[in-house]
Structure 1
């Protein structure tokens, strides 16, 4: 029997569509090949119950009476969501789907579509979710490492990534060259950097987030 942790770690495909028949058909298709699905008849219900901590993607009808797929995407954006959204559109809804993609949606499918098309989009959306989560974790780890640096080590790191030699850093900071070497070694160890080039890449990532 699967534990609660295993259930939470298994990706889920959310399906939001006000058409009962479409919801059931999509859920049946996906569960038949092993996907876990959770269905909602309204965007409001989905938004109130969505768990951003669980690996997932969303299959979303564009045109619904309460809230459009575009509005759902915009609401997700306001919460900082990384959830990959696959929009299902009728022919007249394509401009709305295109706008939603500009706002960050993953992809869209025009009705009628083949099952294989939907399954391929879902496979790629779930892979994108994995990549997004790994990237966020890497950045979180990087910020944690940077927070362990002392103020002096941060100064030394900034000068190292600027390409300055130890001797120059020593003069600029009024330190001995040996002291700079110790600070530099501490920076490399705490940041987990394998080279100056690696440290530069880390520094650029941190600056991009600042």
Structure 2
């Protein structure tokens, strides 16, 4: 049998959902909040990829989540996280936090800076099982970054953060001229 390959469609910022609330400038890859696009509701268990920029002093006040694997990857600035499990942390560029909402958790996220924005990606994946015990973990990149690093997986292999879903998330670093390959089998 000959394998078939699907081509990837790149959606530029201006093709995605966009919301600017003053304190939050966000691009939504899939339908989210007031942005609804029936052609982009998610991909399998992947429900959210938001590219967020939070203004100095802005942020998300305490709010609830259930039955979702949520991770945030800080690109620039600092993200202050606090949750109902007792976790309180400021994440820096390159750091990832993974929060399993499970049976229910509340949390807040703010930009503690008075002068600099925080830029982050927030990704939500539906868990394989509902009602799991909420959990929180952090992942810091290796001191010597590689072009392709596994950061989240179902089994925690290669020192990745563990997720309750058959999914693997890689951090890809390229200079624009590099070629990165990945086997999907």
TM tier relative to shorter chain: under 0.3
**Larger helix percent:** 1
**Larger strand percent:** 2
Look at both structures and tell me which one has the larger radius of gyration over its CA atoms: 1
TM-score in terms of structure 2 length:
0.28
TM-score in terms of structure 1 length:
0.26
Comparing both chains, which one has the higher relative contact order based on Cα–Cα distances under 8 Å and sequence gaps of 6 or more? 2
